[in-house]
Structure 1
């Protein structure tokens, strides 16, 4: 997995229709850490990779630069219904993924 740039992580989150608070609740990484990752401030590579992996599990495909073009983000959740941004529903606390340190 090639690490996505900070702005691409933000775009992926927004593409899923999630707020930073949503990601905090679902993934277990603090909102402050998400903000730092999306700004590129003091990024801990482990957290950036974990967050990217979480978005990939939710249907996001990160497309690295190729052929003179920049990064891309594809949301597989829109394949069958372009109006559908994500597959996430209400996830009980017992089923939430916690970031590993």
Structure 2
């Protein structure tokens, strides 16, 4: 991880308007692993950390290294023009965790409960 602060991964994800669930689906690693990488957990391989960083860079994030008295910075090149969105990823498939609303059930089980008089 060198001197790169892991919290910048979270900032980059949020700058792209992505949830951890979104990154899980797009990047193909578990949400728990993404959480651990964002916390700087030593159990996360430097290879995975570097790939997450590269993933964000590929989608418009620029990590700005410290200069002079200033610390690290994060820039989203997708928003340098007001007419563009936070990212260029298009439609993101739903995560397995995101549930759609279930329709109200009607059928023999519900009908029998309502017919008891």
| Distance of aligned partners of 1:22 and 1:3 in 2 relative to their CA distance in 1, 3 Å threshold | farther
Larger radius of gyration: 2
Aligned to 1:7: 7
User: How do 1:61-100 and structure 2 match up within 5 A?
Assistant: 61-81=62-82, 84-90=85-91
- Measured on the aligned residues, the alpha-carbon RMSD in Å equals 1.8
Instruction: Tell me by how many angstroms 1:68 deviates.
Output: 1.6
- Alignment gaps of 5+ in structure 1: 93-101
- Alignment gaps of 5+ in structure 2: 94-117
Question: Matches of 1:27 and 1:64 in 2, distance apart?
Answer: 24
Q: State the structure with bigger RCO (CA 8 A, min sep 6), 1 or 2.
A: 1
TM-score by length of 2: 0.71
Aligned residue for 2:26, secondary structure, equals: helix
TM-score by length of 1: 0.81
